[in-house]
């Protein structure tokens, strides 16, 4: 319970419950605040906004951005207030024409069967929601009553269009579709094609596809300019690659998206030891595309802190061919395995390629020592799966 709420890290829960109360307790190091949460929410608080009137210039977007209790309250009050306002107008028309007096005689009233404010309120509801019970109706006696009838119908249509459109947009918001776009909990750094690569896995749980899906990545860290200016959230775009090249992806099955750590990468000088001490590093991943069923553009976001990047590991394959079609095992979506990886930066690996050659020789000799077969009889086998091609 405590670990889910983030009060105590998961790896310390059992230790906390079994420790001796007499022993001194040590507080875990406070984690760096995220710029983007794992669920994609931006962790930014806007304060001291003086020009609040700017939000009223776009009333529809403001209503859509409100929370559901506030939206439902405004929805109810907009209809209730309009009914009361026009009920007052109908009551004043009847009062001015003398329809409320019991000794009026046989003169034709402006609106039939209006004898009090309650009956005027019921007639206002009937006019605006087009419910006619047959007991009350506008006559030709008062031209002002006909004008009020026209105005109330126009106002009612406008309120219906705005409020119903607001409810529809809140139920069909783009981030609802993004709930089924998932990212791996951890990112990994390992060798791919002889280069150190930053890799993550992305998948879509729905069968309806994301059209024209593109993926972007940014590194956010605190930097200081040569002039001494401190930039708390310095954002640097870095290219992401996939099996077909470019940022566009065909997300019909989970894919491994990777970034080659080269001389142009902000991770060029990142070492394994920095993942435990580099508290200012955060990598933001943004997936954007068009929902096939609704045509609405959606965006899914996540981030990885330094301690959520695993060095020297690789994602396990989860796509297999069964009964003539490909099946995806999502229970292994975030599983990784350790692979031989040099414990150095990409810069050091480019400057000294002998590190890679030594690692290749060590990994090639490892299986031979475990097997008791001659080298000539040992035939390596390679298996290629769709997931490994991503």
Closest CA to 261 of 348, 390, 334: 348
Residues 295 and 252 both lie in one domain = yes
In a domain, 5, yes or no: no
Domain shared by 151 and 185, yes or no:
no
pLDDT (0 to 100) of residue 47: 75
Residue finishing a domain among 171, 203, 235: 171
Q: Same domain, yes or no, for 340 and 230?
A: yes
In a domain, 378, yes or no: no
Judgement on whether residues 147 and 166 belong to the same structural domain of the protein:
yes
* pLDDT score at 273: 85
Same domain flag for 180 and 148? no
120, 148, 171 - which closes a domain: 171
Digit-coded pLDDT (tens) for 302-341: 999 888 999 999 999 998 888 888 888 999 999 999 998 8
Looking at the domain assignment, is residue 359 inside a domain?
no
Nearest of 201, 202, 210 to residue 177 by alpha carbon: 210
Q: Which residue has the tokens 């860290």?
A: 221
d(CA 368, CA 146): 96
Nearest to 258 by CA among 276, 275, 240, 246: 240
Contact 87, 64 (CB under 8 A): no
From CA 76, how far away is CA 82, in angstroms rounded? Answer: 10
| Structural domain contains residue 139 | yes
pLDDT over 60 (residue 21): no
Instruction: Give the pLDDT of residue 104.
Output: 53
Residue 319 maps to which CATH number?
2.60.40.1400
pLDDT at res. 238: 83
Query: Cβ atoms within 10 A of the Cβ of 267, count?
Result: 22
Q: Domain for residue 16, yes or no? A: no
Please report the pLDDT score of residue 48 as a whole number. Answer: 73
Check whether residue 332 and residue 194 sit in a common domain.
yes
Same domain, 187 and 242: yes
Closest CA to 145 of 115, 110, 116: 110
Q: What does the DSSP 8-state code read for residue 320?
A: E
Q: Which 3 state secondary structure label does DSSP give 339?
A: coil
pLDDT band at 212 (very low <50, low <70, confident <90, very high): confident
Q: Which residue has the higher pLDDT, 376 or 254?
A: 254
- pLDDT tens readout for residues 253-288: 899 988 999 888 888 888 888 887 766 788 999 998
Mean pLDDT confidence for 346-351: 87
197 assigned to some structural domain: yes
Between residues 71 and 40, the one the model is more confident about: 71
CATH number, position 99: 1.10.287.70
Q: Which residues on neighbouring strands pair with residue 235, listed in sequence order?
A: 220
Q: Report pLDDT for 57.
A: 73
- Evaluate if residue 18 carries a pLDDT over 70: no
Q: Which domain holds residue 182?
A: 176-345
Does residue 374 belong to any structural domain of this protein?
no
Across the range 297-303, mean pLDDT stands at 89
pLDDT of residue 9: 46
- Same domain membership, residue 90 and residue 58: yes
Half-sphere exposure of 142 (CA within 13 A, CB side): 23
- 226, 324: one domain: yes
Highest mean pLDDT out of 7-11, 151-155, 360-364: 151-155
Confidence class for position 363, pLDDT limits 50, 70, 90: low
* pTM of the predicted protein model: 0.67
Instruction: For residues 159 and 198, state if they share a domain.
Output: no
Q: Decide if 295 is inside a domain.
A: yes
Dist CA 42 CA 358 (whole Å): 44
Contact (Cβ atoms closer than 8 angstroms) between residue 338 and residue 367: no
Q: Both 286 and 316 in a single domain? A: yes
Which pLDDT value is given to residue 333?
Answer: 92
Token reading at 187? 């990112």
Number of folded domains that form the chain = 2
Q: What is the pLDDT of residue 30?
A: 55
* One domain for residues 199 and 296: yes
The last residue of a domain, from among 129, 151, 171: 171
**Lowest mean pLDDT across 26-40, 97-111, 170-184, 345-359:** 26-40
Q: What is the pLDDT of residue 4?
A: 42
Tokens of 370: 């475990």
Buried b (16+ CB within 10 A) or exposed e, 175-195: eebbeebbbbebbbbbbbeee
Q: By mean pLDDT, which of 53-57, 188-192, 363-367 is the weakest?
A: 363-367
Q: What is the 3-state secondary structure of 132-153?
A: CCCCCCECCCCHHHHHHHHHHH
């Amino acid at each position: 319970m405590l670990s889910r709420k983030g009060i105590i890290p998961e790896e310390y829960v059992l230790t906390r419950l079994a420790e001796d109360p007499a022993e001194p307790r040590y507080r875990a190091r406070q984690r760096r605040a995220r710029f983007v949460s794992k669920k994609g929410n931006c962790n930014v608080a806007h304060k001291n906004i003086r020009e609040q009137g700017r939000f009223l210039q776009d009333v529809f977007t403001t209503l859509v951005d409100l929370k559901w209790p506030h939206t439902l309250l405004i929805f109810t009050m907009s209809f209730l207030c309009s009914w009361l306002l026009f009920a007052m107008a109908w009551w004043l028309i009847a009062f001015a024409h003398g329809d409320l007096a019991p000794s009026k005689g046989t003169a034709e009233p402006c609106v039939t069967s209006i004898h009090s404010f309650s009956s005027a309120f019921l007639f206002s509801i009937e006019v605006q929601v087009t419910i006619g019970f047959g007991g009350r109706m506008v006559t030709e006696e008062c031209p002002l009553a006909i004008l009020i009838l026209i105005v109330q119908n126009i106002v009612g249509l406008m309120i219906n269009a705005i409020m119903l459109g607001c409810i529809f947009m809140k139920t069909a918001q783009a981030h609802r579709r993004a709930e089924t776009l998932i990212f791996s909990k951890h990112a990994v750094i390992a060798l791919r094609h002889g280069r150190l690569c930053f890799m993550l896995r992305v998948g879509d749980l729905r069968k309806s596809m994301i059209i024209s899906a593109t993926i972007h990545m940014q590194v956010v860290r605190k930097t200081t300019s040569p002039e001494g200016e401190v930039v708390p959230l310095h954002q640097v775009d870095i290219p992401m690659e996939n099996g077909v090249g470019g940022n566009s992806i065909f997300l019909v099955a989970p894919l491994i998206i990777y970034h080659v750590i080269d001389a142009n990468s902000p991770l060029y000088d990142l070492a394994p030891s920095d993942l435990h001490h580099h508290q200012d590093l955060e990598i933001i991943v943004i997936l954007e595309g068009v929902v096939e069923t609704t045509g609405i553009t959606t965006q899914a976001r996540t981030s990885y802190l330094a301690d959520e990047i695993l060095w020297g590991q690789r994602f396990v394959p989860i796509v297999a061919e069964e009964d003539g079609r490909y099946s995806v095992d999502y229970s292994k979506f975030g599983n990784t395995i350790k692979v031989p990886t040099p414990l150095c930066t990409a810069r050091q690996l480019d400057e000294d390629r002998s590190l890679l050659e030594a690692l290749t020789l060590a990994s090639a000799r490892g299986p031979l020592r475990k097997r008791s077969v001659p080298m000539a009889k040992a035939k390596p086998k390679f298996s290629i799966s769709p997931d490994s091609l991503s």
